Chains A and B, each alone.
Chain A
Amino acid sequence: MSEKIFVKGNEAVAMAAIEAGVRCYFGYPITPQSDIPEYLSRELPKTGGTFIQVESEIGAINMVLGASAAGVRAMTSSSGPGISLKQEGISYMAGSELPGVIVDIMRQGPGLGGIDASQADYFQATRGGGHGGYRIIVLAPDSVQEMYDLTMLAFDLSDIYRMPAMVLADSVIGQMKESIVANSRPETPLPVKDWAVRGRAEGADQNVVKSLKLGDGEMEAFHWAMHARYQELADKESRWEEYQTADAEMIVTAFGSTARIARTAIEGARAEGMKVGLLRPITLFPFPKQAYTALSARCKRFLDIELSTGQMIDDVRLSVARDTDVAFYGRPPGAGSLPTPEELLEQIRKIY
């Protein structure tokens, strides 16, 4: 398919999930992501898939756990308050090495917060969110096209690395409409799910999907194995975008909707003769450390911009060369707190 269609970010997620072969969607309504369950309640049954509006996000993530344990592609979506409830299930999925896709269209918090754009769930997403010490794959789209493409990628990476994958966007990206190409599912070689529970008729041995690990040394070995898997992810799957970095003397770094605004600000800075570039992480976990290390070897001024009081900045500081100055400009989430390009340009002028 190459013709363009004009859709909302949330719809693009739902369309991509169907193209990726999702068999089960389980979710609970919450703004600003309800377009996803609405679309899938209409379209997924047409493909023979299952849609359930569940009694809670806890129920939903545990259904994802069950369907994924049975070997099919399963997903859920939510926003802050619901993502908090899903953490129990995500931890169990991580402990059971289960794939599964979670879409988080971030809103403000803490608590009920509000429905405007926020990036304040960066820590919750990239640090695992639940108990026990684990990470999940986190992908951060900045356009409707990427909502589509990264949702498909989330399913593939999740299957390959046997861990939950999250698409982390905010209400701006979820709600805006853009024209996209609804690409066909990439032909990624995927491992056989020979570990799935399916009734023993199809496999000689009993299959057990569990996170309980009581054998001597078993849990420690699991943690080291996952640690190695995270490292492999970082080496092979880190993704980022660079814009105007080749001659840049200053790097702006931001993800998701903030990166879009930063790009306009950078165009303004270039028009004023300032050599500014953008480094936009696409994978937040694994964090594309290599890109920061490489750029900071020659460029010593960074400006990190987030819709929070600063979370990704920790990862930026851990990734750049030691003698790099990392400045921060944040607008914590809230109505009216989305920065304008002019506002960001003013920050660039200050630091440049």
Chain B
Amino acid sequence: MKQVFTRTPSLKDVQTHFCPGCHHGGIHRLVAEALDEFGLRERTIGCASVGCSVFLYGYFDVDVVESPHGRAPAVATGVKRARPDRIVFTYQGDGDLAAIGTSEIIHAANRGEDITVIFVNNTTYGMTGGQMAPTTMPGQKTSTSPLGRSIKNDGAPFKMAELLSNLDGVTFSARVALNNPRNVLQAKKLIKTAFQYQVEGKGFSFIEALAACPTNWGMQPLSANERIGSEMIPYFPLGICKNTHNL
């Protein structure tokens, strides 16, 4: 029998702890495929963040260093400056990157650190039980915005892919989603491009991946997936925000 689907070597042969319908697993896979297509597994160092993706080391078969909540871009800076010939990526949720870690991400981006940042925007704090995130959408109910996010009280959601693309140090910034096969293919292509920037030593590359968190959205996996297309993409448009070298 011909095998048509295999596990990519940068991912371990284990089951993940993610909830049914969670997109972290899919994003892990696309990142691992990008690493393997460039043959980077042996020289990649992942910087895990604090959130549902904290077990990065359990799923990726690459060296991993755990970072305090929000600090992965600083940790990655230290790793990359210590070992400039390695491929270094961070993998961060929206609470991690766009709330507690705003200082670290903005400054790593502005310095043009030669790293790749994978930013998972699921509009909520997954791990701590669905509190409001900096990306929670206007009107979205969460456990700490029971009446819905109020722009007056909480401000508007951060659009990180656009925000970072304004910085000179950022060479590549794009937003992707995994809600349908076409978007998955596009996500795969853009994640690969982000790593290509680093392989060619061209500076800071950023991927924002829209993701479902059915558990904390209080939805079934299918309807959570649908929400990405019906609510998130209109607010967080997909595509390339910046591609300095047209890679």
Contact = CB atoms under 8 A, between A and B. Distances in A.
Interface of A: 23-24, 26, 50, 52, 54-56, 58-60, 62-72, 74, 88-89, 92, 96, 197-201, 206-212
B71 A62 contact: yes
A63 B104 CA distance: 10
A197 B81 CA distance: 13
A63 B43 contact: no
B77 A65 contact: no
Nearest to A92: B68
A92 B42 CA distance: 26
Interface stretch (B57-65, B134-142, B145-153, B202-210): B57-65
A198 B81 CA distance: 12
Which of B44, B54, B104 has the largest count of A CB atoms less than 10 A from its CB?
B104
Given A199-B63, A207-B63, A210-B64, A69 B75 contact: yes
A58 B63 CA distance: 24
A58 B108 CA distance: 13
8 contacts: A26-B78, A59-B107, A62-B78, A63-B77, A65-B78, A72-B83, A197-B45, A210-B66
A199 B107 contact: no
A96 to B, nearest CB: 7
A59 B113 CA distance: 14
Contacts, number: 140
A96 B66 contact: yes
A26 B82 CA distance: 12
B82 A24 contact: yes
A58 B66 contact: no
Contacts of A23: 82
Contact of A210 (B65, B78, B80, B81): B65
Contacts of B64: 197, 206-210
B86 A209 contact: no
Contact of B78 (A24, A206, A208, A211): A24
B71 A70 contact: no
B57 A206 contact: yes
A89 B68 contact: yes
B79 interface: yes
Contacts of B63: 197-200, 206-208
B65 A69 contact: yes
Given A59-B71, A199-B45, A212-B66, 7 more contacts: A24-B81, A66-B76, A66-B78, A67-B82, A71-B83, A199-B86, A208-B64
A59 B106 CA distance: 11
Contacts of B42: 199-201
Nearest to B76: A66
Given A54-B107, A206-B63, A210-B66, A70 B74 contact: no
Which of B44, B68, B78 has the largest count of A CB atoms less than 10 A from its CB?
B78
B170 interface: no
A67 to B, nearest CB: 4
B201 to A, nearest CB: 16
Contacts of B45: 70, 197-199
B194 to A, nearest CB: 18
B103 A209 contact: no
Given A63-B77, A65-B78, A56 B103 contact: yes
B74 A63 contact: yes
Contacts of A211: 66
Contact of B62 (A54, A70, A206, A212): A206
A74 B65 CA distance: 16
A71 to B, nearest CB: 7
B78 A74 contact: yes
A62 B67 contact: yes
Contact of A66 (B44, B61, B82): B82
Nearest to B75: A66
Given A59-B103, A210-B65, A199 B75 contact: no
